[in-house]
Amino acid sequence: MPEYLSYKDAMKYMGFSASKTLNKYIDAGLPVIVVGKSKRISKTAIDAFMKEHEVIVGKESD
């Protein structure tokens, strides 16, 4: 898979198929590369964005 992904490929890489979901990620700060009418998302940017939003969910201690 190339470093710079189309929206469709970015959604596949991230594991979902709804463009509404991708737009929510973009609204939350996922960077998009725009050159003319072409829009791409970097795999590296996706990985960094996901890491920044990582939370550990676990059982609360009593």
Q: Return the domain boundaries, the chain.
A: 4-52
Q: pLDDT tens digit string along 7-59?
A: 999 999 999 999 999 999 999 999 999 999 999 999 999 999 999 999 988 87
For the beta sheet containing 33-35, the strands, ordered from the edge strand earlier in sequence to the opposite edge, are: 4-5, 38-42, 33-35
Does position 2 have pLDDT exceeding 70, yes or no? yes
41 touches 4 (CB < 8 A) = yes
Does position 62 have pLDDT exceeding 90, yes or no? no
Structure tokens at 25: 């990620």
